[in-house]
Structure 1
């Protein structure tokens, strides 16, 4: 688990850390702009990936032949590169018909980062599936450190414009490190865009279905800050809330890694629903412990600040205390969502997430418009409660874990099961 944690922290934590560094020398308004752009970029990253990173983890582990693994890697890279390239061209075309605002200009400039980010995510998933995360850890740590330095120095020197350039150069640095570590697999499929590396229609459809559920999930997670942006809340308010959510990403990242480690274990016992239920309970308890610890630390920090420190980011700490209360609820939704993925109920996961968006989008906007950052914090807590209720309710009333078995072949490779080779 430690090497997987390092892998995830480098890929996701590097971006988070570079944003935190910007709070030391940029204004709260500039930080708010960067957080809004990162939220939009994160949606783009998931939206154009077609589920390639998720499939990379499962399929690399399911295939024993290195040649098959190499072709799988190439097919998944082609899927996300083509999808991302088409999306970027469409965005540039649409931009000409939209108002020439600063936000739209910045989004169009940073959108192509999604191509680099998704390539990194596919190769990271591939390395995890191969169980070689220990071997790639040192090159990844070095490249991530260099990436953070590039983004930080660029933003410090040239502001938001420098941050945009730094994101491109920094992401490319990490991608090159992965290509170096997996160079033997790239040699097997060179040139990448050869006919034998083209993905099948079935693989594309499967990835699209899995990814659609993740995209809607990401929209759910970003509804509070998107609601603030739509309500035209002052940038400094977005900055306060954005910094609080950045801090909360540390325990959120740990929860995600815990679920990611548990996912293949659930897949291997998918034919035995009693064992799946036991794994679900273990995962839920583990995530609840992480959430409870974060609540305790946040409350302690808030009390110490109110009584002793009185730092300038008091509003941020207050918001952090409120949104940390949502972690146990988010842990419940995450654990159930992990089971949905392990049992391949991608459509069920998507329907649950769509229902959550429909139930929470209007309250998120109204609360943000009325109470600013504090309203967004309340929307964050409300959305987490609704998410937990929807996930548990769906799991309970669908009978997914009771009264039947999904078959002994439930853990076989997806490419084998569905004829995707």
Structure 2
């Protein structure tokens, strides 16, 4: 790392390289933080968490008890050991609380004054953060498994909603009504995700073993369905044709640049797809344990190279290299199954929630050997640059006597 600093100071390295290298180093040194606790509020499992991107300071959580909590992640105590306090709670005593399990919570992408939650009580609620009262309530015919708002949309304010019905509902925040239905799946919709690259592109995953990609501006059906065999008839002959996984598909996540789409299924497989063509890249992640009957909330790192994937696997969080499929490490600390995790790109931290009712913070740790290694690399790098005759390191001093 000191070598990158030296190169940046001399103008030989792009500053972005330093940022990516440091982000990558921090992710590779993630450990359970003994000095940071998250206040335990939920009386049952934590199903979903979300960190707002405006300040990167406030975190939402939703639990199987129907409770929604807002945490402040900042440390103002001046001490290394501190607890992230719950500053607001929609608890069981509130008349507006969800009656059953909260499956998804999400901050409004452009303002912390609003957030959205969906639940097994067949409702999705749009909340005013200040008053903790719902400004809008959408009713559905079946349990709501998931919802998602586009992180980049400027031309629409649609929320995609997946329910027990095979239809994807599109709800408009501006009009407060359901304006469109996407039909094509044959089973319950377990996960939905908008592209972070194109605001009209939506991916949906279902219990029918398929993932469909849609352009919501089109009146026709989906753009394409992801096929694990890439259209190879010989491989698909003895198996279900045109399926994304051999079991229920319960997890979706785009890469940070939106060029790739990750899917997880109950066949214990995770697959990486080209989001533009729908081609299976055939990256082998090995066995990714997945027994969830509902949606699986996993996440991808941002601002580093290479990118990493954080996936709940039993009572641990598995960390994979996105493009090689290599298992980097397993983060162990929960006492029961992990249901969700969320990456904090500002500080390269990870938060995970599970059935043990806990939210754990995983933070980068810099060890002594790392510093020694960086010092060694700096010396080697400096010697190499001096010997290469780079003008930036040449001695321009001269003497009148010469």
- Scaled to the shorter chain, the TM-score interval is under 0.3
TM-score (norm 1): 0.23
TM-score (norm 2): 0.24
* More helix per residue: 1
* More strand per residue: 2
